[in-house]
Structure 1
């Protein structure tokens, strides 16, 4: 994101970096990034192993083809590249799921013991809509946000949130319609307004709630979920006008839930603030307050496992902010770290042990030198939750209009 907020695109074919394999055998942490390559059947997943010395080593066979294509549009408009959770894994770290936004499909891989990926039989699977951009998993149900917003591949299909059943072998099967019962109005697919640009679907652990983020529609969209994963839309809410200048669009971008209390955090990308909400069991959202963000263009948000620290990417300024969330309703910003090199900070992930944070920066501007801006940052978490970037970021050697997206971390110990 820059002055125009965010316009990001992605794709990748190779990684230009030299890594020492010295420590590779002593770590069980693996990092995955989607190339988002636009050419047909060229999208792929880069896979790395972390050494005890902090180096990331590309795995043999990486990148692993997804069997689909990435985002087609590479211009400056908002929406096509504004998404999160493009790459996720199941809690057992045996399956990896990735979007193919340019071919309307979802790739599913088995994760082998050595971190390598093997496509599930039949992968990729239809996404149930146009331009899938975000994934969430609860048990054996996969939730997909189909943005239908790729200007390079226009579609009359409405954006939607849809559900799939994940079979034990990783195969995706559409969830069937519920019986015609007015007392049970849940559906496997719920469409939203054209142009609303859903960017994220967040399943709140321990609840029956999926919370969607209709970025350009300016709405937070909660859903209740039934026992088979079907959806029932609850009243959507707009961001409060009191937190914005009269001429500033009220766009939400970035959702994260506190792991122990019913608190939701929302990035107010155009206001440089983070919204704090309380949610009820039925998905009703109550706005509590905003807290300031020292960076510009706050987007994606992650919490550590205990919930006492939050990490946000500040896209315009290529920074990561750290918040003390000891009091979940009153998070306090304690650090704003500028990432190395040029680019725009975007997706972010916290390692399972909480010791590392990984973030993608993207080449969002033609003013950045060719070959620079598309990188993977590795950050160490200090005892107080603040971050240090001590190593050199990994640079993805990709075409100027291509930007890798999404980052997932697993520990295969």
Structure 2
């Protein structure tokens, strides 16, 4: 095994490219190193160039620690979204430190620089925050209560939780309320409605099963199989008091189970996103390889409308453009029986009547660095697979972050943490543009980079 040197990251690292910013060039992208070395997690800043490529600028330490998922592709701990977010006024950036159980906050300068908010990092008031989102002046964190590298005594015996915070004028987070998650469900994502203020959706996703018959390889969280998931709707008042509106179990939309390796797995959600102008919520039916469609009223009550097929394997993350004409899904694995060799991105037409019945119009292969390996489901898996995704503000480019999946000692190849850029054509279809190897920019190979946001000033 190659030795991974400890990398000390600092907010005062000198910019590698110090050319003055010209007007109109203040276009940035941020991601998390998710560094698993103690208190070495950091936000990485990139300049977005006109051709879609990225130019590394600097790191900003979060003073926290990322989540370690040193497995053969274990489902669960890393399957989350919106670990890093920027407020609508572009004044603040927040990021999770899952192993440290806290949230870091920064003020954003006009040159894209980050300045730590006084009091940061802020306690998440729960174990293992994996996702954050904002509506108005309220931030909610989804605390998964699952981190194999934290002491068992730190786990909350009452289970996972959602915690709310009031964002102060200076960006500081003040704790407001806690909503417990009974039944050992595991939060994966918290998402704010684009049409109803202070309405949040959450998906909960847990897969822990002895897929390959070797308890040391894949059966990690406990002595019993746990395969479950659901959607939640949460209403929040202006002081952060949370009210659970409803819990929704996904419908069994098809008879034949598409989830390879474990027949009988129920429908489970992974990846949610709301329509920008209609009360519609899209959800990835990961164990069905389908995209689910729900409508909701002003109270947040969900109603299942439709589910359409997805051409990839393990649909996991969803993003909708501002014009509400295209929906993009990240499909984590290649579909067996096809020519797919790596992760894919599907493009759906959701314009007009297709908003409630999306039509898949393109499937794009994501470049795969690194060698394939046998994962903990006893399946051949690419050594680098796609996770979170973001559009540039002008929606000319789509960025997807790939993680180095096999983080066990058997993997001696350092590559796999990548950000891929795709150009978005006028019809919303995608074309591969460029890739950046995060290892070369100072990201540690033994951590899985996560989260991606883009902003213009």
TM-score under structure 2 length normalisation: 0.80
Match of 1:356 in 2: 397
Q: Deviations over 1:362-412 (max 9, x none)?
A: 111368771222101111110100111122333335444311000011111
Q: Point out where structure 1 has 5 or more consecutive residues left out of the alignment.
A: 1-10, 176-187
Does structure 2 retain, via aligned residues, the 8 Å contact 1:293–1:333?
Answer: yes
- Name the counterpart of 1:71: 67
- 2:280 match: 263
Are the aligned partners of 2:135 and 2:199 in contact in 1 as well (CA < 8 Å)? Answer: no
Counterparts in 2 of 1:275 and 1:91: CA distance versus 1, 3 Å: same
Go from structure 1 to structure 2 and tell me whether the alpha carbon gap of 1:385 and 1:296 turns closer, same or farther (over 3 Å shift). same
- In 2, distance between residues paired with 1:316 and 1:364? 11
Runs of at least 4 residues off by over 4 Å: 11-14, 19-24, 366-369, 397-400
Matched, 1:211 2:228: no
**Are residue 311 (structure 1) and residue 352 (structure 2) matched?**
no
Distance (whole Å) between structure 1 residues aligned to residue 195 and residue 300 of structure 2: 13
Structure 1 residues 49 and 135: CA distance shift in structure 2, 3 A: same
- The within-5 A match list for 1:318-329 is 318-326=343-351, 327-329=354-356
After superposition, residues 1-400 of structure 1 pair within 5 angstroms as 25=22, 26-59=24-57, 62-75=58-71, 76-153=73-150, 154=152, 155-157=154-156, 158-175=159-176, 188-193=177-182, 195-207=184-196, 208-216=198-206, 217-243=228-254, 245=257, 247-317=264-334, 318-326=343-351, 327-342=354-369, 343-365=384-406, 370-397=413-440, 398-400=443-445
Superposition RMSD on alpha carbons, in Å?
2.2
Cα distance in 1, alignment partners of residues 290 and 18 from structure 2:
41
Pairs aligned (count): 385
Superposed CA offset, 1:18-55 (max 9, x none): x9888964522110000111111100011001123433
Q: Equivalents in 2 of 1:347, 1:98: separation in Å?
A: 14
Deviation per residue, 1:171-219 (Å, 9 max, x gap): 11112xxxxxxxxxxxx21010253110111110231421111112411
Partner SS, residue 63 of structure 1: strand
Q: Which runs of 5+ in 2 are unaligned?
A: 1-5, 10-15, 207-227, 258-262, 335-342, 370-383
Equivalent-residue separation in structure 2 for 1:242 and 1:306 (angstroms) = 29
Q: More deviation in 48-57 or 272-281?
A: 48-57
Structure 2 vs 1, CA of residues 391 and 264 (structure 1 numbering), >3 Å: closer, same or farther?
same
C-alpha displacement of 1:308: 1.0
Is contact 2:230–2:268 with CA below 8 Å preserved after alignment?
Answer: yes
Give the deviation of 1:242 after TM superposition: 3.4
